[in-house]
Amino acid sequence: MAVLGKAGQMSALAPHIPVLLDEVIHSLPITPGAEIVDGTFGAGGYSQAILAGGARVYAFDRDPDALNEGADLAGRSEGALRLYSACFSNMDDVLMADGVMSVDGVVLDIGVSSMQLDRAERGFSFQKDGPLDMRMGQDGMSAADFVNEAEEADIADIIFRYGEEHRSRRIARSIVAVRPITTTAQLAATVRKAVGHKPGAPKDPATRAFQAIRIHVNRELDELTDGLEAAERMLKPGGRLAIVTFHSLEDRIVKQFLRRRSGAEAAGSRHVPMVGNDGPAPTFDKADKAVRASDAELARNPRSRSATLRSATRTHAPAWAIGGLAA
């Protein structure tokens, strides 16, 4: 994300472009005194645009680099921006402990940030060689720990489930055969060799494997599910939820959550039992139509090509408890 001023100029704080910025800001209740959660602060692009509208921002990030680099913006905000070193899935517990009981809006920009991808030392991308890390919070199990210590079957399962890669068993077998693997270049080369990739082919097969391992290491889909429920608990009646996703696994979770919570999907699952007429009341109105990047945005920011914005308005109904019942 980039940090933009009122006139839209990019500041020196972070040379990254926030995806769907205008559309996200339009979807939120940005008015003087409104309280908005930016659950994925990153380089502060959304937060600064929200601040420019006179709202207060409670920004979360588990990445110490993002928080360190955002400290100057927080200092210049005269208290309008509070930074929290925490996952957005914990926003309700963290904010309530700080005396904030409800908010007017929540925005979540899901997935890895440009500042993480662009820094080779963070180990998220194979575009530049670096240590095989991928940890958003810079703690816990790294990508290298996973590929070097996990069972072959578990590696295959993760690559298939989170990368939607049908050659996952072949890739896992190759990883186990050559490990230890310590750099992004080593892992990418191993994946390419396993599937017979030819240089110059339109899609690099390492992309899916890297995505899968990153999602697993950071528990991204679990964080998203928990974060949606936390946002539901924090939003005031009439509050707005806006989520930007970047691939089908994320978007499916958001779409299904909003369908269930708006009463548009009655069928249950192993996580959420069937909701009948006597079940919990809808906590969101019907979701707005999904928004994707315009041709102009695609031209200036190719990373926006896979972005999808979904948004919805909170009703007066109590938040659902785990299991799909009213709290």
Angle between helices 152-163 and 168-178 (to 10 degrees): 140
pLDDT value at residue 127:
86
Range(s) within the chain of domains with CATH label 1.10.150.170:
141-218
pLDDT value at residue 38:
98
pLDDT value at residue 76:
96
How far, in Å, are 221, 245, 319 from residue 248 at the CA level?
A: 11, 8, 26
pTM: 0.88
| Cα gap 189→201, rounded to integer Å | 14
pLDDT value at residue 228:
98
Burial 153-162 (b: 16+ CB within 10 A, else e): eebbbbbbeb
| Cα gap 218→214, rounded to integer Å | 6
| Cα gap 326→239, rounded to integer Å | 19
Copy the structure tokens of residue 208: 């899916």
| Cα gap 167→137, rounded to integer Å | 30
pLDDT value at residue 321:
83
**Topology of domain 141-218, per CATH?**
DNA polymerase; domain 1 (1.10.150)
User: Where is 258: in which H helix or E strand?
Assistant: helix 248-261
DSSP for 140-204, please give it: S--HHHHHHHS-HHHHHHHHHHHH--TTHHHHHHHHHHH----BHHHHHHHHHHHHTPPTT-SS-
| Cα gap 288→142, rounded to integer Å | 37
pLDDT value at residue 5:
35
For tokens 């309008």, the residue is 80
For tokens 């991308």, the residue is 125
Range(s) within the chain of domains with CATH label 3.40.50.150:
21-115+220-313
pLDDT value at residue 158:
98
Q: Torsion angle of alpha carbons 164, 134, 85, 271, nearest 10°?
A: 20
* Count of beta carbons in the 10 Å neighbourhood of residue 280: 19
pLDDT value at residue 3:
34
Instruction: Give the CATH number of domain 21-115+220-313; options: 3.20.80.10, 3.40.50.300, 3.40.50.150, 3.90.1150.10.
Output: 3.40.50.150
pLDDT tens for the 327 residues of the chain, in order = 333 333 333 333 344 678 999 999 999 999 999 999 999 999 899 999 999 999 999 999 999 999 999 999 999 999 999 999 999 999 999 999 999 999 999 999 997 767 667 777 787 888 889 999 999 988 999 999 999 999 999 999 999 999 999 999 999 999 999 999 999 999 999 999 999 887 777 789 899 999 999 999 999 999 999 999 999 999 999 999 999 999 999 999 999 999 999 998 654 544 444 444 567 999 999 999 999 999 999 998 888 899 999 999 999 999 998 655 444
| Cα gap 113→65, rounded to integer Å | 12
pLDDT value at residue 30:
97
Which strands make up the sheet holding 291-292, listed edge to edge?
Answer: 81-85, 56-61, 35-38, 103-109, 235-245, 308-313, 291-292
